[in-house]
Structure 1
Amino acid sequence: MGLKTIERLGDLFALFTVARPEWSLAEVARELEVPRSTAHGLLVSVAATGLIDPVGQGRYRLGPRITELNAVRMRRRDVHELAGEVLHALTAETGETSNLGVLAGSALLYLDSVPGRHHVNVTGARPGTRLAADRTAMGKVLLSHRAEPRAALTEERAAEVLAGAGLRRTEAEAIRRDGVAYDLGGVSPEIRCVAAPVRDEAGTVVAALSISTTATRFAQHHDQLTHRVREAAAVLGERLRSDGA
Structure 2
Amino acid sequence: MVKIRPRPGVTGVASADRVLTVLTAFRTGDTAVELAELAERTGLIKSTIMRLMVSLESHGLITRMADGRYQLATEIMRLNTVYQDGLDLERHITPLLHRLTQETGETASFYVRHGAYRMCLYRVNSPHHLRLHMQPGDTRPMDAAAGAEALRTPYAMAEKMIKPMYSVGATDPHASSMALPIFGAGESLIGALVLSGPASRLTAEQAKSFYPLFQSAALELTRSLGGDALAIDLDEPAPKKTAKKKTAKA
- TM interval, shorter chain, is 0.5 to 0.7
- CA-to-aligned-CA distance 1:113-146 (integer Å, 9 cap, x gap): 10112242233x2111111122432221111227
1:153-192 to 2 correspondences below 5 Å = 177-192=161-176
Between Structure 1 and Structure 2, the one with more helix by share is 1
* Alignment match, 1:195: 179
Q: Does 1:208 align with 2:218?
A: no
**TM-score normalised by L of structure 2:** 0.52
Structure 2, gaps ≥5 residues long: 1-30, 32-76, 228-250
Identity %: 25
- CA-to-aligned-CA distance 1:174-214 (integer Å, 9 cap, x gap): 99633522231111111100001112132322111110112
Q: Does 1:230 align with 2:239?
A: no
1:88-99 to 2 correspondences below 5 Å = 88-99=98-109
- CA-to-aligned-CA distance 1:34-73 (integer Å, 9 cap, x gap): xxxxxxxxxxxxxxxxxxxxxxxxxxxxxxxxx9xx89x9
AA partner of residue 185 (structure 1): G
| Aligned-partner Cα distance in 1 for 2:153–2:160 | 7
| Aligned-partner Cα distance in 2 for 1:75–1:196 | 24
| Aligned-partner Cα distance in 1 for 2:127–2:158 | 31
Aligned pair in 2 of structure 1 residues 138, 223: CA closer, same or farther (>3 Å)?
A: same
Structure with bigger gyration radius = 2
Counterpart contact for 2:158–2:181, Cα < 8 Å: no
Aligned pair in 2 of structure 1 residues 76, 132: CA closer, same or farther (>3 Å)?
A: farther
Q: Which runs of 4+ in 1 moved over 4 A?
A: 173-176
Q: Does 1:240 align with 2:225?
A: yes
Structure 1, gaps ≥5 residues long: 1-20, 22-66, 149-172
Q: CA RMSD in A?
A: 3.1
**Whose relative contact order is higher, 1 or 2, with alpha carbons under 8 Å and at least 6 apart?**
1
**Deviation (angstroms), 1:89:** 0.4
Q: Does 1:221 align with 2:231?
A: no
1:63-102 to 2 correspondences below 5 Å = 74=84, 78-102=88-112
